[in-house]
Amino acid sequence: MEEKGEIKENKGEKSQGTDWASLLGNVLPQILAGLQDSFRDVLITFFKRNVIFKARIQAGRRITIPQEELEVAGIKEGDIVQVIIVPLKEKGE
């Protein structure tokens, strides 16, 4: 019986048996490291000029952007911004 990773004879030719567990064990950490690097780069790019803050809806359905957030994002009066709203809780909760 052959062992995994053992060199086997085939009509006078030598070939290496595939040890998938070892191959996966060697490749998987490299793949995960690459994904971590990519995810980190996406987060850095996203937060580089984007800001996240909590705000309360005021009269007239208005939201005030804090001055510090405007400065960090480089936003000036008249700039167009994209707003994504995630309700945190309803009034009275």
- Rounded mean pLDDT, 58-78: 93
Residue-level pLDDT at 15: 53
Task: Tell whether 80 is covered by a domain.
Answer: no
Domain count for the chain: 1
Residue 79 clears pLDDT 90, i.e. is over it: yes
Task: Tell whether 93 is covered by a domain.
Answer: no
9-51 tens-digit pLDDT: 555 555 566 787 787 788 888 888 888 888 888 887 777 778 8
| One-letter-per-residue 3-state SS of the chain | CCCCCCEEEECCEEEECCCHHHHHHHHHHHHHHHHHHHHHHHHHHHHHCCCCCCCCCEHHHECCCCHHHHHHHCCCCCCCCCCCCCCCCCCCC
CA dist., res. 58 & res. 71, Å (int): 22
Task: Tell whether 86 is covered by a domain.
Answer: no
Task: Tell whether 79 is covered by a domain.
Answer: no
Q: Which domain holds residue 14?
A: 7-73
Contact 64, 55 (CB under 8 A): yes
